[in-house]
Amino acid sequence: MRLSNKASVIIVTYNHKRYIKDCLTSVLANNPFEVIVVDNGSTDGTVEVVEKEFPQVKLIKSPRNLGYGGGNNLGVKHAKGEYVVILNPDTRVEKNWLEELLKPLEKEEKLITTPKILTYDGSKINTCGNIEHFTGLTFTRGLNEDPEKFDRLEYLSGLSGACFAMRREDYLELGGFDESFFSYMEDAEFSWRTHARGFKILYVSTSVVYHDYELKVPPRKIYHLEKGRYILLRKYLSWKEFLLLFPSLLTTEILTWGYSILNGAEGVKFKIKALKDGLVMKVEKIDCDGKKLLKSLDWEIPEEQLSYNIFDRVIKKIANAMYWINYKVIVR
């Protein structure tokens, strides 16, 4: 029996009519056990396309917008497969994507797999798993590089929320996505929790997804990313670890404030709002070995992402030197 016949593919939609037909067609060609679409209140005809053209798909209409994390949690609750696969709706997948993504799960316990994700036209890499930095920053790994690169299995610090697979019972054991992260950073928090609970994240280069993605961080996105980062740090780190991390946390504040200022008054406004909301929101602390968790994360940030000139890259190179020194002291 093919492993794909044991998988429930969960796709959360919100006004994705332009993508959903190609997405579902490519997914169904992989012969999964079931496909579940959770719609978060689309008004563009997404639901009608699914109902009319894909009657074999299980459609769940949420009465309210649950966000990406909440929508996936709802989908997994209805799933019957041994494995669950989370997939963005603005994607299409290769023929053997599902089988390749599931193979390692049969051989190893406490594992999550994430595929090679290319841009929609396949011309370059979107991400090969994510980079989870120990100060809470998140980056796409391999962004804009040649599609032929990153061609081997690797354990990573972060999964991509655009697509990953795991055992359904493990997803439920971990508690699924934290629904307080309504938009952005839910995959970062899930990656941190994965490591805190002794799971590993494996990048599978032979499983390929095409994703309509372009890296942009406008002012409103700054709010969601920074608010999520503050919540993430408060959730997983003790006061002792905050003190040990202070040089690196300060460095990250300088970088994020600098980027916010470059985005003008709106950027500054949303950075301040993120600081306020992220520090006052009630957070449920996770009891874990902080040092062990930090060891599973990355210390280096990619110098080319969101850099517009040589000055930006020099600043990030200096920041990486600070991160390296501080990280080595913490995990020694």
Query: Across residues 73-94, what is the average pLDDT?
Result: 97
Q: Which domains, and CATH codes, for the chain?
A: 3-211 (3.90.550.10), 219-331 (no CATH)
- Element at 133 (helix H, strand E): none
Predicted local distance difference test score (pLDDT) of residue 146: 97
In angstroms, the CA 329 to CA 316 distance is: 20
- pLDDT of 274 > 80? The answer is yes
- pLDDT of 182 > 80? The answer is no
pLDDT over 90 for what percent of the chain?
89
pLDDT per residue as tens digits for the range 204-222: 999 999 999 988 899 999 9
In the numeric block, the tokens 């190179």 are attached to 317
Confirm if 11 and 54 have CB atoms less than 8 A apart. Answer: no
Q: Confidence class of residue 141 from pLDDT cuts 50, 70 and 90? A: very high
Predicted local distance difference test score (pLDDT) of residue 180: 86
Predicted local distance difference test score (pLDDT) of residue 307: 82
Give the burial string for 228-264 (b: 16+ CB within 10 Å, else e): bbbbbbbbbbeeebeebbeebbebbeebbbebbeebe
What is this structure's pTM?
Answer: 0.95
Query: Across residues 124-142, what is the average pLDDT?
Result: 97
Mean pLDDT of the chain: 95
- pLDDT of 306 > 90? The answer is no
Predicted local distance difference test score (pLDDT) of residue 61: 95
Predicted local distance difference test score (pLDDT) of residue 63: 85
Confirm if 175 and 69 have CB atoms less than 8 A apart. Answer: no
Strands 125-127 and 154-156, by their bridges, are unpaired
- pLDDT of 40 > 90? The answer is yes
